[in-house]
Amino acid sequence: MESREAGVERLYPKIWGRMSARYYYLIQLRKQLERVIELFVKNSPHQLLADYGCGNKPYEPLFGPFVEQYIGLDLAINTKADVVVDPKGIIDMPDESVGFVLSTQVLEHVEDPKSYLNEACRILQKDGKLILSTHGYWMFHPDPTDFWRWTSTGLQKIVKEAGFEIVYFEGILSRSSMGLQLFQDGLLFKFPKAIRPLWSMLLQPFIIFFDKIAGNKSRREDACTFILVAKKL
């Protein structure tokens, strides 16, 4: 929702500041999205992109220059949404009307993931792309709800069942680095706010180190967050 951090903080976090506990993670997420843009968006014909569950559109600066139009889809309570999604999850848009659907850290919050993915498929043109990221491991974070976590195979299964072919699949933060991230967060909120950045600065280098020594194959199987691109069949 709109309460999410501003786009510039999410895209370019500082090691000291409000987003210090997410410093390395947010950088890796941005880099993965930039890679997806390079591979699948940058050289495609300019098309309409729908940010499905847009919040405050933190990733518009990344995708906006490479698409014809960037529109936000969200519930009516989000005043930054360009198109309203009704409480049942129905998008007020015609079939096959967009070239890309972007969904970043939304799927774990929706009550019915299958309906959510079916709606994404419905509004996509044939061969249109779903760009989606969601959590494997992560702390409970209601916004306003928080329902799901996925294994790599479970996430791919539910996406395929909605009418997609997965053409790209990667993980962010390996098992060991995510274990440290959870350890960091497990104690973080027990500290006074003034101490939290210090605690994060102590843990973030270890999170970075253990992620750097992990292999890409293991990250695709077991990660903090998975990011995928899927083509509508």
134 strand-pairing partners: 226
Please state, in angstroms and rounded to a whole number, the distance separating the CA atoms of residues 228 and 149. Answer: 15
Per-residue pLDDT at 8: 67
Task: Sort strands 164-172 and 225-232 into parallel, antiparallel or unpaired.
Answer: antiparallel
Per-residue pLDDT at 7: 58
Q: Which helix (DSSP H) or strand (DSSP E) does residue 171 occupy?
A: strand 164-172
Classify residue 89 by burial, with Cβ atoms within 10 Å: 0-12, 13-18, 19+: middle
Inter-residue contact 173 to 223 (CB < 8 Å): yes
Count of Cβ atoms closer than 10 Å to residue 55 Cβ? 23
Classify residue 192 by burial, with Cβ atoms within 10 Å: 0-12, 13-18, 19+: exposed
pLDDT in tens, 98-108: 999 999 999 99
The structure's pTM equals 0.94
Question: Bigger pLDDT: 1 or 167?
Answer: 167
Mean pLDDT, rounded, for 1-8: 50
Amino acid making up residue 175:
R
Output the DSSP codes for 79-118.
TT-SEEBPTT--BSS-TT-EEEEEEES-GGG-S-HHHHHH
pLDDT in tens, 65-87: 999 999 999 999 999 999 999 98
Inter-residue contact 124 to 193 (CB < 8 Å): no
Closest to 113 measured CA to CA, from 97, 135, 82, 89: 89
pLDDT in tens, 146-182: 999 999 999 999 999 999 999 999 999 999 999 999 9
pLDDT in tens, 169-221: 999 999 999 999 999 999 999 999 999 999 999 999 999 999 999 988 889 99
Residue 156's Cβ-side half-sphere holds a number of Cα atoms within 13 Å equal to 13
Inter-residue contact 91 to 83 (CB < 8 Å): yes
